[in-house]
Structure 1
Amino acid sequence: MDGRIFGLDIQLGFDVIMQGIAVFIMFALLSYILFEPVRKILEDRKNRIADEIDQAAADQAEAAKLKAEYDHKLKNVEKEADALMAQARKKALKREEEIVAGAKEEAARIIESANHEAELARINAQDQMKQEMVKMAVLMAGKFIQNQMDEKDQNAFVDQTLQEMGDKTWLQE
């Protein structure tokens, strides 16, 4: 050694080159053995995270779509409920009209029946009155025959009988 601190000789150059080659080989070997699996794990993790992010975005889009569909259906349900209520009201009004019409028809039948019964009662009363008149006439005739009254007495007797029967009896027909 010639008093130099750092001697550049061929041996040092060869050692440096050998160490550089050894480091390069070791780096390549470690890169192949260690770094590749780590890179693969990191790449797989990166892909998995990207897939999860994509899936989360798709799920979020699906949730937004379902929410929009739900809101739309909710609005339609309200409209359908309103439509059903309107339809029910129409049916109720129609049923009410049918009931009222049926009641009016029944009332008309009852009134017609009552009028018919009143007419029958009036006819029956007229028949009875006519029968009474006939009986009275027969009685009067019998009394005329029995008494052989003169004309003045007969007129007085007819007037008296008419007064007993009353004016209303002769006026109804």
Structure 2
Amino acid sequence: MQNEMWFLAQALPEGRVFGLDGQTLMDIGIQLFNGILLAVILGAILYNPVKEFMQKRTESIQEKLDDSDATMLTAKNLIDEYEEKIENINKERLTILEEARAQAQEESDLIRQETKLEAEETRARMQKSMEAEKKRIQDESRLYIIETAALMAEKYVASSINEEDHIKLFEEALTDLEESKWQS
């Protein structure tokens, strides 16, 4: 490598770092021309396919964005629809609860009325039963009072009436019975 450097240093004119002669300028011009030509040829060859690729990619991305927007819109519509359905279900639930409460209140009122009627009927039956029992007790009491009065009268009469008066009263009672008609 040192040999090569020494050779290059010998080839350069004195006082110059590198040789800028006609051959070097010609090489630089050819390389520049080749670079420009390569850029033009590659640009002509690759520009349209790269442009089409980029256009297709842009369209694909835009299509995906549009699809995602449509999907988001559909999802939002579905969310709105579901929220509306939930609201309707809540309203229906409240309506059903109110109807059930009203029906329960009606049934409760009906049961109260029926119970009240039954209580009144029971009270009326008890009243009639009590009145019948009272009448029966009064009738029995009357019979007992009559029997007691008859026994007391019999004792009183027996002690105050003598034998002659007794026979006379007995005969009068027999004649009254004979004169009255027997009912069959």
TM-score normalised according to structure 1 size? 0.62
* Equivalent residue, structure 1, for 2:6: none
Quote the offset at 1:26 in angstroms. Answer: 4.2
Aligned-pair RMSD on alpha carbons? Answer: 2.9
* Equivalent residue, structure 2, for 1:73: 89
**1:91 and 2:113 are equivalent in the alignment:** no
Pair member with larger Rg: 2
Matches within 5 A, 1:34-73: 34-73=50-89
What is the alpha-carbon distance in structure 1 between the residues aligned to residue 65 and residue 148 of structure 2? 120
* Equivalent residue, structure 2, for 1:29: 46
Task: Give the SS at the match of 2:69.
Answer: helix
CA displacement 1:107-135 (0-9 Å, x = unmatched): 11221221121111101100101111221
What is the alpha-carbon distance in structure 1 between the residues aligned to residue 48 and residue 62 of structure 2? 20
CA displacement 1:128-162 (0-9 Å, x = unmatched): 0111122123213322444767xxxxxxxxxxxxx
1:28 is aligned with what amino acid?
A: I
Q: Which has the higher contact order (CA 8 A, sep 6+)?
A: 1
What is the alpha-carbon distance in structure 2 between the residues aligned to residue 28 and residue 109 of structure 1? 118
CA displacement 1:42-61 (0-9 Å, x = unmatched): 33322221111000000111
2:40 is aligned with what amino acid?
A: V
TM-score normalised according to structure 2 size? 0.59
Task: Give the SS at the match of 1:106.
Answer: helix
What is the alpha-carbon distance in structure 2 between the residues aligned to residue 102 and residue 28 of structure 1? 107
Aligned residues: 132
Quote the offset at 1:25 in angstroms. Answer: 5.2
What is the alpha-carbon distance in structure 2 between the residues aligned to residue 24 and residue 101 of structure 1? 112
Q: Which runs of 5+ in 2 are unaligned?
A: 1-32, 166-184
Identity of aligned residues (%): 16
- Choose the corresponding residue for 1:113, options 126, 129, 134: 129
